[in-house]
Amino acid sequence: MIDKARKEKVCLEEQCGEQWEAMEPELKQSCGNFVYCPFCAGEMVIRCSACGETIHDSSFQYCPWCGTGFKD
């Protein structure tokens, strides 16, 4: 069981997944401020790392879908 989850900023377009995975970890860390995906120009969303559901309010302390608390 996961104790804490992360709020991950991601692109929901499947075709971008490989490009995001191929990114250097240092570069990936700086992408958290992106509003749009650099590969497809789709809007980035925040999701729960525990269940993968989209989080619409980044101020939530717990995932409204799975109840897992977020790391500070």
- pTM beyond 0.95: the answer is no
Number of domains in the chain: 1
pLDDT by residue (tens digit) across 20-72?
A: 889 888 888 788 789 999 999 999 999 999 999 999 888 999 999 999 999 87
- Asked whether 42 and 11 are in contact (CB, 8 A), the reply is yes
Q: Is the dihedral of CA 31, 55, 13, 42 positive or negative?
A: negative
Domain that holds residue 43: 4-70
At position 71, the amino acid (one-letter code) is K
pLDDT at 42: 94
The answer to whether the beta carbons of residues 2 and 70 sit under 8 Å apart is no
What single letter denotes the amino acid at residue 27? L
What do you get for the CA distance between the two ends of the chain, in Å? 18
